[in-house]
Structures are given as C-alpha cells and as structure tokens.
Amino acid sequence: MAQTRGTAPFLSDNTDYRDVYVLVEAGLKELPPIWRKYYNIETSDRKTEITQSWVEMGDVPEKAEGANYATDLIRPGFQKSVSHTEFGLGFEVTETSGEDDKRNVLKRNGKFLAYSARYVEEKRAALPLVNGFSTETTNDGVAAFSASHVLAGPSAGTFRNILNPGQDLSWNSLTQAMIDLQNETKTDQGKFVTPITDWNIVVPPALEFTAARILTSTLLPGVADNDKNVLKDRRKFNIIVNPHLSDADAWYLLASDKGRHGLTSYTRIPITMAPAMTDARTGNVIYKIRFRRSWFWNDPQNAFASAGA
C-alpha cells in the first residue's frame, strides 16, 4: 500500500526523500536495546548454525606400579541447530504526497520504520526467557529452566537451574539460588566448577524495586536486626529491567560474562535500510528495512530462574 494524500490528508508541502533515509540510520543509533546487555551475540555467514558441545575426560583412576595406563576419550555431547529468521518492512510514498509533506510527517515515518525493527528485535529476544520454563529448550532438549537437565557424560546424571519449588523474588530466594548454583553447576562429567560471582538479574518492571531493595541495602532488607547483607558482599549483581517480560513474578539470573551462559543470538544480516528506490512506472518512492537474526538457548549452564511462587 502506498502512502497517498488520501491515506494521510494532513500532508502538504516540502519533503526530502534523502532525509528519510538518513533519519532511519540516525534513529537506529539513538535507540539502544536492552537485550544486547545480556545476550551472547555472534555473527553468522550461513543459513543455519550448528553448535556442538564436548564431554571432557573422566577422573584419573589409581594405577598400580608397572600396570597399564587406563585411557579415556573426549566425547561429543549435545548438538543444536538453529536457522535464522528474516524480517522486513517497507513503506511506499507517492510523488504527490511526497511533494505535499508540509509537516515532514514522512520523515518521522522513516524513523518509525527503524524503531519498528528494533522493537521487534527486543520482543523476540525476550521470548527465550519468557518461554524458558516451557517451549524454549537448550541443547539437551529440555526446557531452558528445568529441574531435570541432562549431563552428557556417561552416567553423569542430571542437574537443575531453577528454584524447585518456585519462589517469588526475595532476599531468601536469591540466597537460595546462589547456593543452588554452587551445588548444581557442573561439567558434563558431573564435576563441580568455580561458581559465577558476577550476575545479571533480569526482571520485569514489577520487580525492579524489590531487586534494588535486596541488592543495595547495607543490612538485611526488611528486618530489624543488624546483620550485614552478605549477598551484597559475596556476589555482584547488575539489575536489568525488561518490560517485555510478560510474567510479573518471574526473575532470571545470567552470568555477567555473556560468554559463560548459553543465551545466544546470531546476526546473519543486521538491521539494514537500503537507499530509497523509485518505481519507474508510478514514480512512487519505496523505503525498505530488513534483518536476519536468531535468538536461542545453547547450553543451560550459568543461567538460573524462578517462575515465582
């Protein structure tokens, strides 16, 4: 559908097609997204990316003097395949409406086009968290936040990265999450590893001030005693508020070092707006914006969540 004076009767004079193109570029820089703060972002040069995990060797056994050495192998673990999604939108302006754009409405529409692309990125990036208790799965085929994640090593068992049962965000529940992470974070052979001490806590707006009260209080929040707030002393937290998280009770923990958790996005084609094209038959000017991207969970390690009570 072309933008005509009929669809926008307020159009009058003076538009500059080139300015629409420049405004879109400027608008992208002015709207920093939230999701990039906690996603591991990589570049892709193919339609589909396949990730492969590997299982380290097992424990070194005792060996009698002169006896043969036991041997072990590095084994393949879990594999995950992800294909990128393509997005695109455009608008078309007739020659006449372009000539009569007295209030520069079309220029603002160019900026709105860029905003639309960024907004879709933000919404899609929230889904692996929002659906992380159900349909969004990690490379072991289990929901991203689960009490039964599978370790790929022989007879290594399972682990969980969820409060079980779920609890609302509080000092006690966040402390329990830190304890659980130390007990449950293991390699695929079931070996304990150094716990993460720097965390992003991603919350909906409803939990922003609860999180701030828990993590900025010098003493224990909400109680009358003078005990120190040891969460603040023993761990570091960065609060990230995301309004696209639809569950007002759910909260999420991701390692601040984005390379340590499996929440990943591949950039196949970044948000791109080509120069405006003119239809030779009508003289209409067409503006297009597009991108190709994927958002997904790879491995579930160093991520933790609670769906609330």
Per DSSP, the residues of the chain read -EE-TTT-TT--S---HHHHHHHHHHHHHH---SGGGT-EEEE--SSEEEEEEEEPP-PPPP--TTPPPP----EEEEEEEEEPEEEEEEEEE-HHHHHT-TT-HHHHHHHHHHHHHHHHHHHHHHHHHHTTTTT-B-TTSSBSS-S-EEP-STT--EE--B-SS---SSHHHHHHHHHHHHHH-B-TT--B-PPP-EEEEEE-GGGHHHHHHHHH-SB-TTSSS--B-HHHHH-EEEEEE-TT---SS-EEEEESSGGGS-EEEEEEEEEEEPPPEE-TTT--EEEEEEEEEEEEE---TTEEEE---
Structure tokens at 71: 């041997």
Q: How confident is the model at residue 287 (pLDDT cuts 50, 70, 90)?
A: confident
pLDDT for the residue 274 = 81
Q: What is the average per-residue pLDDT within 72-80?
A: 94
Highest mean pLDDT among 28-37, 95-104, 183-192: 183-192
pLDDT band at 23 (very low <50, low <70, confident <90, very high): very low
212 pLDDT exceeds 90?
A: yes
Structure tokens belonging to residue 156:
């290594």
**Confidence at residue 285, expressed as pLDDT on a 0 to 100 scale:** 87
Position 21 scores a pLDDT of 47
Which residues are within 8 A (CB) of 183 and not within 5 positions of it... i.e. 6 or more apart?
A: none
Mean pLDDT value of segment 257-266: 96
| Residue 70 or 109, more confident | 70
- Asked if residue 278 has pLDDT above 80, the reply is yes
Mean pLDDT of 198-223: 93
pLDDT digits (tens, 9 = 90+) for 122-142: 999 999 999 999 999 999 999
Say which residue, 145 or 195, is predicted with more confidence. 145
Q: Could you give phi then psi for residue 292, rounded to 5 degrees?
A: -130, 125
Residue 114 pLDDT grade (very low, low, confident, very high; cuts 50, 70, 90) = confident
| Structural domains present in the chain | 1-57+79-309 (3.90.1690)
Instruction: Pick the more confident residue, 267 or 21.
Output: 267
Give the pLDDT score at 29: 47
Q: What is the pTM of this model?
A: 0.85
Comparing 48-57, 242-251, 277-286, 293-302, the range with the smallest average pLDDT is: 277-286
| High-pLDDT (> 70) share of the chain, % | 86
Residue 76 confidence class, pLDDT cut points 50, 70, 90: very high
Residue with tokens 């293991």: 186
Report yes or no: 235 and 175 within 8 Å, Cβ to Cβ.
Answer: no
Q: What is the pLDDT of residues 222-249, one digit of tens each?
A: 777 778 899 999 999 999 999 999 999 9
Task: Please give the residue that has the higher pLDDT: either 13 or 134.
Answer: 134
Tell me what the mean pLDDT of segment 159-168 comes to. 95
Q: Measure the CA–CA gap between 66 and 16, rounded to whole angstroms.
A: 86
- Residue 5 pLDDT exceeds 50: no
Q: What is the mean pLDDT of the chain?
A: 88
